[in-house]
Amino acid sequence: MPQQKTRIAPSILSSDFSKLGEEVRAIDEAGADYIHIDVMDGHFVPNLTFGAPVVKKIRPHTKKVFDVHLMIAPVDPLIADFVDAGSDIITAHVEAGPHIHRTLQAIKSHGVKAGVSLNPSTSIESIKHVMDMVDLILIMTVNPGFGGQSFIPLLDKIAAVRAMIDATGRTIDLQVDGGINDQTAKQCVEAGADLLVAGSYVFGGGPGEYANRIKALRG
Ligand code: DX5
Ligand code: ZN
Q: How far is the CA of 170 from the centre of ligand 2 (A)?
A: 23
- In 3-state terms, what secondary structure has residue 70? strand
Q: Is 88 a catalytic residue?
A: no
**pLDDT one-digit tens code per residue, 158-189:** 999 999 999 999 999 999 999 999 999 999 99
SS3 assignment for 150-192:
CCCCCHHHHHHHHHHHHHHCCCCEEEEECCCCHHHHHHHHHHC
Q: Is residue 97 predicted with pLDDT exceeding 90?
A: no
Phi, psi of 65 (to 5 degrees): -60, 130
Q: How large is the average pLDDT for residues 178-205?
A: 98
* 177 given a catalytic annotation: yes
Angle in degrees, CA 65, 70, 75, rounded to 5: 125
pLDDT for 69 equals: 99
Evaluate whether the domain defined by 7-218 bears CATH number 3.20.10.10: no
204 alpha carbon – ligand 2 mean position (Å):
16
> Given this model, what pLDDT does residue 172 score?
98
- Report how far apart, in Å, the C-alpha atoms of 46 and of each of 16, 42, 70, 145 are: 20, 5, 13, 6
Query: Residue 81: how many CB atoms within 10 A of its CB?
Result: 14
Round the average pLDDT of the chain to a whole number and report it: 98
Spatial separation of the C-alpha atoms in residues 200 and 160, rounded to whole Å: 27
Question: Among the options 33, 41, 67, 177, which is catalytic?
Answer: 177
On whether the CB atoms of residues 99 and 129 are closer than 8 A, the answer is no
pTM here is 0.98
Q: Name residues with Cβ closer than 5 Å to ligand 2, which is an ion.
A: 38, 69, 177
Residue 141 CB less than 6 A away from ligand 1: no
Residue 62 CA to ligand 1 center (angstroms) comes to 21
Res. 137 pLDDT band, cuts 50 70 90: very high
Instruction: List strands edge to edge, sheet with 7-10.
Output: 7-10, 195-198, 173-177, 136-140, 113-118, 89-93, 65-71, 34-40
Residue from 210, 205, 144, 133 nearest 177 by CA: 144
Task: Write down the pLDDT at residue 173.
Answer: 98
